[in-house]
Each structure stands twice: as structure tokens, then as C-alpha cells.
């Protein structure tokens, strides 16, 4: 029955050990920091295996270094960093090295003997953390030691040493010690994994925050109305925002990575005039005419130096600039146009006043007629300017009623014939069944008078006016046999104050408002006024009015 007794005491011991380890696993599992795990491990050890020192070391097989992670000596917790890392002795000298190499636990109950053997480096540490290399100085106080490897997936990743100055260690104690080391190692691993996971989660959250911030920055960059682009030091475009696309009509996908000169062709000559500020300083901006795709844009532009290159911001001032130009055109044209007839009226009136009685009746009449003609020209200019202003402000009311276009055309031609020299021949051709248009008879006549006047003024020679039906509308074509209008001016002649070749001394007088007013009036009747594509010479203007 002795055997049975032994069995049952062995069973009881095993059960006790299992209970101890279970308790240890629970306690260790509650800890979140690796340092605290070592403390808990040591607390668990105290009371079950007597000892005077505990050292936990990690082993890194990449450089064979053995580093102290935790040290407790004679009631004092020591700073592990005060132990210099030692290198694994592959010859097997030194107890730690032997355990790491074999992966097996070690119990040494004759430490004094062992440290005298050559091949290992032995330190003795007192409770103040004072370290002495052994056995140089004096024999160590340690009598017995147990060393257990810490393993991870079969590889040795550390060693735990337990030292006693008094007792000898038994295999049963080794079993308890090894069990606790196993639990401690598992807890350290879990804590490290958790810590790593928390670190990864924090890194991921930080990355997400940065991405969100970037996303917001991109959205802001896309939302701003200003054009913004980043120019790399090599002169290529790195970023081209939506505002830049809209202003220049050049897509980011087209310019990305291409030289800036592919968009702004005159960049090389103009860029020295663009102020570029250091980062953090608000830059002034310069207003420059930048050529984009063959036309000039007036851009207010400035740059800021950044690590990635120069960031330029620009704003389109073309329409503001055009307004400025229009204003000065207006003043120049109006004063120029008013000056000639006014001088004529003034001169004629002056002559009549000073030399009235001496002038013959024919000369007097001539001067009076000049005053009348020039005064009427003056009032015509004033009318045109005023009408333009009213059109721009949307104050002109245009009727929409059935109009016999043939009648209106005849009336316009008759009115013109009265004013024209005999030589100016106007031919009228009206197709049958042209039908009636919806519009304002007076305004239509005003438009036709202006077109015929231009045809005579600029075209000269034969003028042909033709009324015909054209695809749901009534068309009046006014054609002359003059020099025609260069293609580049086809749209511009309809702009306010625009006059082709106004500086030619031979150019007849005019405000450049006639065609603008005509087109605006026709538009208000839902019609169209256009220049016919270049034909056999001369210019042909087409007025299309919707059928009534």
C-alpha cells in the first residue's frame, strides 16, 4: 500500500500544483503591463519556492544577446537596465548560455564550484544592485540556483533564474518554478500582443485621422473658386485643382506631370513678375495677361514656396478687366464720335453768326443743313449709347406680335433710299409666302436700317436685301459686295464698341454699338442675327425671326 500512498501523495502534489498554476494564470491574466507581470510572477513565487534572488532575462537570437528584464535581489527590485547585456556563449560556458543552448532547465546546487570553472561570466548582485564579476572579487553568496528557459513556439526567448543563499533546490521545486515560468511567459506574450494591438490600433486611427484630414484638404482645394496648382522644382505641374480647370479650361488629367509652359505658354517671360512668398507669409499678387490655349486671360496670381515646390493661386480677372476696357472704350469712342459733329455744328453756327449777312443764301442753307445733319448724328449717337445702357439693364420692352416682314423690309429700304446718294443701289427680293414673324415691327425696322446702313457704309456698291422662309423662321438677308469681314472679326463685330480697323482714316464714323444693339433686339424677339459664312465676297448678315 506504500505505493498507493505514494501515488496519492503524488496526486495531491500534482493537484496542488495544478491549482497553483490555475491561480497563477488568473492573476497573471489580470495584468496589462509586462513589468507588472514580472512583479505578479514574483509575488506568486514567494511562499512556494524559497529564494534570495530572481532574474528574468530575454534572449535575442539575432545577435545572441541576453538582456535583463527584471531583477529582484534580497528584497529589492533592481533596475534591469543596470545589468549590461551579455552575449551568449556558444561553447556552453555559463549557466544561462547552457540553458539557452539546450532549451532544458538546470538546477545547480554547488554554485560556488561552478563559477570557479572557466568559460562563463558570472555576476553577483547585492541588494543595493552593486554588481561584482565573479569569482574575481570574492566567492558569491549564492549556494543554489535554478534556471528555466522561456520558450515561444519551441524557440528559447529567455531565461529565468532563481537563486538561494541558504537552501538546495529539489526537482519538485523546479517543477513548480518551471510551471510558474510557463504561466508568466504566456502572460508576458499576451500582454505584449495586446500592447502591440493597441499600438497598431492607435497607428491605424492616426492614419485614418491623417487620411480624413487630407481628404478634407483635397475637398477644400477642389471647392475653392481660385485656381491652385503646385509647380515642382523641375517646372512640371504636380497638382491642378478644379478651380484651375474651370478658369483655364484645361483638365488636370491632361496637365499632370507636364511642364507649366504647356498651359501658360508665356510662363517663362511672365513668371519673374509673379511674387513668390516664403511659406507662412501672405503673398501679394500680380495681375498679368497669361496666354492659355491661344487667348489671353487676365490672372491675378501669386505663389508661396513650400517643401514640395511652389504653390500658385490665381483668380480670373478677365471679365473685370474687360469691363475696365469697355469703360475706357466707351469714353474714348463716345468722346471721339461726339467731337467731330460737335465741331462741325460749332463751326457752321459760328460762321453763320459772324458772317451771316455776307454769305449768299446757298452757302447759308448749306451751313444750316450741315447743322441739322450733324445734330441728328449727335442725337443718334446719344440714342445708341442710351439704348445700349437700357438693354444692358434689361429695361427695353420688345413686342411679340405678328409682323409682316416683307412690309417692314420695304419700309426700311424706302427710309434708307431717301438718305442715300443716288449711286447706292439697294435691290429688294421677296419670296412669295414667307409668312409672318412674331416680333416688334419698329425694332425689326431699326435692325434692318442699321444693317443696310452698314452695307452701304462699309460695303459700297450693290446692296441686296432678300426675304425668305427658312426652317420655321422668316429670314432677312442683307448682302453687300464690299470687302467682307475677316473671319477673326465674325463674332467680335457684335461686341459693344467693337470696330474693325477704327484707325483707318478711310473708315466711316461709327460707335461700334449698331450691331450690338441689333443682335440684342433680335434676341429679345427670340430670333438670331448672324453673319453668313464667307461667300463669294462681301458680307451677308442674316436676321432669323420666329414665325408667328
User: What is the binding site for ligand ADP (CB under 6 A)?
Assistant: 454-455, 458-459, 480, 482, 485, 493, 498-500, 510-516, 539
Taking alpha carbons only, the member of 13, 12, 6 closest to residue 173 is 13
- State in angstroms the smallest separation of the CB of 415 from ligand ADP: 17
Q: Which is nearer to ligand ADP, 106 or 447 (CB)?
A: 447
- State in angstroms the smallest separation of the CB of 275 from ligand ADP: 40
Q: Which is nearer to ligand ADP, 105 or 538 (CB)?
A: 538
Outline where DSSP puts E strands in 472-537: 473-480, 528-531
- State in angstroms the smallest separation of the CB of 412 from ligand ADP: 15
Ranked by CB distance to ligand ADP, the top (closest) residue is 510
- State in angstroms the smallest separation of the CB of 454 from ligand ADP: 3
Q: Which is nearer to ligand ADP, 330 or 458 (CB)?
A: 458
- State in angstroms the smallest separation of the CB of 388 from ligand ADP: 10
- State in angstroms the smallest separation of the CB of 462 from ligand ADP: 12
Q: Which is nearer to ligand ADP, 32 or 487 (CB)?
A: 487
**β-bridge pairing 309-316 and 426-430:** unpaired
- State in angstroms the smallest separation of the CB of 538 from ligand ADP: 7
- State in angstroms the smallest separation of the CB of 424 from ligand ADP: 13
Instruction: Spell out the residues 6+ positions from residue 155 whose beta carbon is closer than 8 angstroms to its own.
Output: 61
Q: Treating both helix axes as pointing N-terminal to C-terminal, what angle do 171-223 and 2-29 enclose, rounded to 10 degrees?
A: 20
Q: Which is nearer to ligand ADP, 439 or 482 (CB)?
A: 482
Q: Which is nearer to ligand ADP, 313 or 485 (CB)?
A: 485
CA 270-274-278 angle, to 5 degrees, is 145
- State in angstroms the smallest separation of the CB of 448 from ligand ADP: 13
Distance, in Å, from the CA atom of 149 to the CA atom of 152, rounded to the nearest integer, reads 10
DSSP class of 58: E
Q: Which is nearer to ligand ADP, 158 or 459 (CB)?
A: 459
- Chain centroid to CA 197: how far? 35
- State in angstroms the smallest separation of the CB of 472 from ligand ADP: 26
Phi, psi of 123, rounded to the nearest 5 degrees: -115, 145
Distance, in Å, from the CA atom of 546 to the CA atom of 528, rounded to the nearest integer, reads 9
DSSP class of 509: P
Taking alpha carbons only, the member of 529, 512, 510 closest to residue 520 is 529
- State in angstroms the smallest separation of the CB of 514 from ligand ADP: 3
Distance, in Å, from the CA atom of 56 to the CA atom of 67, rounded to the nearest integer, reads 9
- State in angstroms the smallest separation of the CB of 336 from ligand ADP: 12
C-alpha cell at 12: 495531491
Q: Which is nearer to ligand ADP, 316 or 480 (CB)?
A: 480
Instruction: Spell out the residues 6+ positions from residue 321 whose beta carbon is closer than 8 angstroms to its own.
Output: 287, 298
Q: Which is nearer to ligand ADP, 303 or 482 (CB)?
A: 482
Taken in order 34, 36, 42, 48, is the CA torsion positive or negative? negative
- State in angstroms the smallest separation of the CB of 495 from ligand ADP: 8
Q: Which is nearer to ligand ADP, 112 or 534 (CB)?
A: 534
C-alpha cell at 471: 426652317
Distance, in Å, from the CA atom of 512 to the CA atom of 499, rounded to the nearest integer, reads 5
Distance, in Å, from the CA atom of 229 to the CA atom of 250, rounded to the nearest integer, reads 12
Beta-ladder partners of 315:
300
Q: Which is nearer to ligand ADP, 344 or 513 (CB)?
A: 513
Contact between 46 and 52 under an 8 Å Cβ cutoff? The reply is no
Kindly calculate the radius of gyration of the chain based on its CA atoms and give it in whole angstroms.
52
Taking alpha carbons only, the member of 432, 424, 439, 421 closest to residue 518 is 439
Contact between 104 and 151 under an 8 Å Cβ cutoff? The reply is no
Q: Which residue has cell 409666302?
A: 433
Distance, in Å, from the CA atom of 184 to the CA atom of 26, rounded to the nearest integer, reads 11
- Mapping DSSP to helix (H, G, I), strand (E, B) and coil, where does residue 35 land? helix
Other beta carbons within 10 Å of 399: 14
C-alpha cell at 166: 541558504
Instruction: Spell out the residues 6+ positions from residue 267 whose beta carbon is closer than 8 angstroms to its own.
Output: 260, 261, 290
Q: Which is nearer to ligand ADP, 404 or 489 (CB)?
A: 489
Q: Which is nearer to ligand ADP, 185 or 455 (CB)?
A: 455
Amino acid at each position: 500500500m506504500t505505493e498507493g500512498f505514494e501515488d496519492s501523495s503524488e496526486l495531491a502534489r500534482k493537484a496542488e500544483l495544478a491549482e497553483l498554476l490555475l491561480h497563477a494564470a488568473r492573476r497573471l491574466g489580470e495584468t496589462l503591463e509586462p513589468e507588472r507581470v514580472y512583479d505578479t510572477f514574483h509575488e506568486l513565487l514567494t511562499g512556494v519556492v524559497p529564494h534570495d534572488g530572481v532574474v528574468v532575462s530575454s534572449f535575442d537570437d539575432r545577435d545572441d544577446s541576453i538582456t535583463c528584464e527584471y531583477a529582484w535581489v534580497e528584497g529589492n527590485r533592481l533596475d534591469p537596465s543596470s545589468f549590461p547585456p551579455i552575449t551568449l556563449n556558444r561553447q556552453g560556458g555559463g549557466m544561462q548560455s547552457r540553458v539557452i543552448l539546450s532549451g532544458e532547465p538546470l538546477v545547480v546546487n554547488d554554485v560556488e564550484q561552478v563559477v570557479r570553472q572557466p568559460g562563463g561570466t558570472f555576476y553577483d548582485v547585492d541588494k543595493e544592485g552593486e554588481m561584482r564579476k565573479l569569482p574575481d572579487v570574492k566567492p558569491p553568496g549564492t549556494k543554489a540556483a535554478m534556471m528555466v528557459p522561456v520558450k515561444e513556439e519551441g524557440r528559447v526567448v529567455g531565461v529565468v533564474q532563481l537563486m538561494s543563499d541558504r537552501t538546495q533546490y529539489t526537482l519538485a521545486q523546479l517543477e513548480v518554478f518551471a510551471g510558474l515560468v510557463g504561466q508568466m511567459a504566456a502572460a508576458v506574450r499576451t500582454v505584449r500582443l495586446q500592447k502591440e494591438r493597441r499600438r497598431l490600433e492607435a497607428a491605424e486611427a492616426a492614419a485614418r485621422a491623417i487620411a480624413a484630414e487630407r481628404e478634407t484638404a483635397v475637398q477644400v482645394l477642389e471647392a475653392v473658386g481660385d485656381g491652385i496648382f503646385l509647380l515642382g522644382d523641375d517646372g512640371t505641374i504636380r497638382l491642378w485643382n478644379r478651380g484651375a480647370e474651370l478658369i483655364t479650361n484645361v483638365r488636370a488629367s491632361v496637365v499632370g506631370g507636364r511642364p507649366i509652359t504647356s498651359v501658360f505658354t508665356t510662363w517663362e517671360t511672365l513668371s519673374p513678375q509673379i511674387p513668390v512668398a516664403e511659406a507662412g507669409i501672405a503673398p501679394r499678387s500680380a495681375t498679368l495677361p497669361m496666354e492659355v490655349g491661344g487667348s489671353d486671360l487676365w490672372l491675378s496670381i501669386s505663389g508661396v514656396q513650400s517643401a514640395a515646390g511652389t504653390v500658385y493661386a490665381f483668380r480670373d480677372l478677365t471679365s473685370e478687366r474687360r469691363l475696365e476696357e469697355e469703360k475706357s472704350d466707351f469714353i474714348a469712342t463716345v468722346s471721339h464720335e461726339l467731337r467731330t459733329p460737335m465741331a462741325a455744328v460749332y463751326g457752321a453756327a459760328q460762321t453763320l453768326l459772324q458772317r451771316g449777312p455776307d454769305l449768299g443764301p446757298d452757302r447759308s442753307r448749306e451751313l444750316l443743313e450741315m447743322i441739322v445733319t450733324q445734330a441728328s448724328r449727335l442725337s443718334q449717337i446719344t440714342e445708341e449709347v442710351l439704348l445700349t445702357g437700357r438693354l444692358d439693364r434689361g429695361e427695353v420692352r420688345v413686342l411679340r406680335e405678328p409682323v409682316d416682314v416683307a412690309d417692314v423690309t420695304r419700309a426700311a429700304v424706302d427710309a434708307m433710299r431717301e438718305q442715300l446718294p443716288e449711286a447706292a443701289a439697294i435691290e429688294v427680293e421677296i419670296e412669295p409666302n414667307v409668312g409672318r414673324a412674331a416680333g416688334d415691327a419698329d425694332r425689326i425696322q431699326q435692325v434692318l436700317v442699321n444693317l443696310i446702313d452698314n452695307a452701304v457704309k462699309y460695303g459700297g456698291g450693290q446692296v441686296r436685301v432678300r426675304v425668305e422662309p427658312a426652317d420655321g423662321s422668316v429670314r432677312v438677308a442683307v448682302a453687300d459686295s464690299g470687302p467682307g469681314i475677316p473671319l477673326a472679326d465674325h463674332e467680335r463685330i457684335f461686341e459693344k464698341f467693337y470696330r474693325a480697323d477704327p484707325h483707318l482714316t478711310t473708315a466711316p464714323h461709327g460707335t461700334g454699338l449698331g450691331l450690338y444693339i441689333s443682335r440684342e433686339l433680335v434676341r429679345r424677339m427670340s430670333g438670331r442675327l448672324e453673319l453668313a459664312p464667307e461667300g463669294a465676297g462681301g458680307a451677308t448678315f442674316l436676321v432669323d425671326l420666329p414665325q408667328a
